[in-house]
Amino acid sequence: MRILYAATGDIAVPLLGQLAAEGLVGAVLTAPDAPGRRGKSLVPSPVKVKALELGIPVMQPETLRTEARAEAASFSCDTLLSFCYGKIFGPRFLAMFGRKLNVHPSILPRYRGCSPIYAAIRAGDSETGITLQEIAEGVDEGDIYGCLPIALDGTETQESLEAKVASLAPGFVSAMLASLPDPRPQEGDPSYSGFIAKEDGRIDFSAPAAEIHAQIRACYPWPKAYAMLDGAPLYLTGVYGSVADVHGPACEAPGTIVALEKGKGLKVAAGDGYVYVSRVLPPMRKEMDAASFVNGSRDAIGKVLS
């Protein structure tokens, strides 16, 4: 097996290291360098950085058309393995490979699409997973070779769950590739996860406390959950405990900052209980814990987040 590894983000770096250690990677296909945070210089993808460190050839086409197909063919790979690459493969590109595999961070057919980790946390699921599947014409519609379940305890953030998936993927995929079973069709009703927008972070405090708890975790580190305080956005970047730690019913209006509770954070009223916000990011300031925020904004208690 000689793999063209198509991947871009941090989540896919450990798997690249594992496959390279096994001598399976012929080349890497990744996104073109993109502007950094300040937009002044181009930054390579994490997968490109790792590939160059390992001495693996890298290709970064803008599209997967004729020139890209010719370049890919020059590496003589018989297997395409994709993990959060970011582009859709056309039939001509796929026809170049005997095996066409995709690593997807959910238990398919749940959360097909581009943001399954965010979607699982936001929905308050008790389980997600990693699926190895065949690449099909439709997005994430291919048959399944195997799944690795991952239990969720209601404390995960998008960041921490991505890190967990990244750490588990190498062992799971390596074992699957060593002895690929016959694929089986996906079973059950599919659901979908789309692009995450900044407004997905806007909190409605009339919603149930458990939903707000999940939203804050799902939106970290991006787009970050937020509400308005004194006419400016206050980003809520951390929340105490798990969904089991929300309490109610609330007596105050939704969004009211009721108190600062030691060890928990800002006690904020929700539609049916309270959420404890442990960390915040005020405008034009650094992220901080709730106690530091109150020390610098002593009139915050009693105000309403909207």
The CATH number assigned to the domain holding 115 equals: 3.40.50.12230
One domain for residues 215 and 73: no
Q: Does 302 fall in a domain?
A: no
User: What is the pLDDT at residue 249?
Assistant: 86
Q: How many domains does the chain have?
A: 2
Q: What is the reported pLDDT for 298? A: 86
| Domain hosting residue 152, numbered range | 3-193
- pLDDT score of 270 more than 90: yes
Q: What is the pLDDT of residue 182?
A: 96
pLDDT band at 166 (very low <50, low <70, confident <90, very high): very high
Residues 78 and 113 both lie in one domain: yes
Residue 306 lies in a domain: no
Judgement on whether residues 36 and 150 belong to the same structural domain of the protein? yes
Nearest to 252 by CA among 274, 230, 231: 274
pLDDT for 250? 85
Cβ atoms of 184 and 143 closer than 8 Å:
yes
What whole-number distance in Å separates Cα of residue 54 and Cα of residue 195? 32
Residue-wise pLDDT tens digits, 46-93: 999 999 999 999 999 999 999 999 999 999 999 999 999 999 999 999
Q: What is the chain's mean pLDDT, rounded? A: 96
Q: Is it the case that residue 154 has pLDDT exceeding 90?
A: yes
Write down the pLDDT at residue 152. Answer: 98
In terms of domains, do 172 and 25 share one? yes
Residues 95 and 155 in one domain: yes
